[in-house]
Amino acid sequence: MIRVGGGTQVTRARVRSWVIVGGVLALAGLLFVASGRHAIQSGSRQPQDIAALVEAESARVSELSERASALNREINSLTLSDRSGTDLPQVDPPLAEREGVAAGSTPVSGPGLTVTLDDAPASSLDTVPGNPQPNDLVVHQQDLQNVINALWVGGAEAMTLQGERVTSTSAFRCSGNILLLHGKVFSPPYEVTAIGDQEALAQALEEDKGVQNYRAYVDWVHLGWGVRTHDRIDVPASQSTGELRYARVPEGTDVFA
């Protein structure tokens, strides 16, 4: 029963309020159902934290790397196939092979060595004299760079880091005690493997100042270090795209100002 006078206005206001609330709830329900249907159709869930995101992206990179490997094998097969009767220019095989090795697009086999670097045990903070800090107990990016550069100086023909082919376009960086390379995440121990003259490679490691500095920490806080030789090493072709990334100067910037 609707009252006359002021009661009528109050009742009508309440009716309008309930109508509005009901409309909002109905709209929210429709959005919820639509979102649920979209999630079912997509067949995937978005990661809700950094660890899940890293895991999802690592899996995606692995899948794309496998596809890239298959395409590279197809390209190599087409390149090396019999092209007799065609007018395509012929490439000098030794030159093409050298360029393929330098670019990392060709697998390489031969004798060489592997260098292993590892973090020091946490107990070194309490047992080693000289007040070492946590930062002293981990392998840093410059440590890996020093080893890799020393091996290049020693005449390395091909190289891998954690099984990933290292070329002139390879870029890696360390964050804490993890290594990011070619979109993948690695943890210590780190292994650098190089093909080349074993004595020359070992000598280059001994003479490199950066490696000598790392070896000093090996003796002090017990960082991991090891060198072992191999009669035969199989280095795979690079799976990276080789795309170069570099900085650009913003337009309108006077670099000589």
More confident residue, 173 or 199: 199
pLDDT at 231: 96
What per-residue confidence (pLDDT) applies to 73? 67
Q: What is the pLDDT of residue 202?
A: 97
Q: Are residues 125 and 230 in the same domain?
A: yes
118: phi then psi, degrees, rounded to nearest 5: -145, 155
4 — pLDDT class (breaks 50, 70, 90): very low
- Looking up residue 174, the CATH number of its domain turns out to be 3.30.70.1880
Regarding whether 10 and 103 lie in a shared domain, the answer is no
Global pTM value: 0.60
Token digits for 22? 């009901």
Residue 34: predicted pLDDT: 53
97 with 37, same domain: the answer is no
Residue 253 domain-assigned?
A: no
* Other Cβ atoms within 10 Å of 94 Cβ, number: 8
pLDDT single digits (tens) 208-241: 999 999 999 999 999 999 999 999 999 988 766 5
Tally of domains within the chain = 2
**Are residue 24 and residue 107 in the same domain, yes or no?**
no
- Local confidence band at 252 (pLDDT 50, 70, 90 cut-offs): confident
Domain annotation covers residue 56: no
Domain that holds residue 99: 93-235
Which helix (DSSP H) or strand (DSSP E) does residue 31 occupy?
helix 6-42
- State residue 139's pLDDT score: 94
Question: Would you call 190 helix, strand, or coil by DSSP?
Answer: strand
Which stretches of 43-163 are DSSP H helices?
50-80, 93-103, 124-127, 141-153
In a domain, residue 66? The reply is: no
- Residue with the bigger pLDDT between 15 and 256: it is 256
Whether 65 is in a domain gets the answer no
User: Has residue 45 got a pLDDT over 80?
Assistant: no
Residues 105 and 218 in one domain: yes
Tell me if 70 is assigned to some domain. no
* 172 pLDDT higher than 60: yes
99 & 220 share domain: yes
Question: Are 29 and 106 in the same domain?
Answer: no
- For residue 195, is pLDDT > 90? yes
Q: Are 41 and 98 found together in one domain?
A: no
How far lies 4's CA from each of 13, 14, 16, 141, 143, in Å? 14, 15, 18, 83, 88
State whether residue 197 is helix, strand or coil: coil
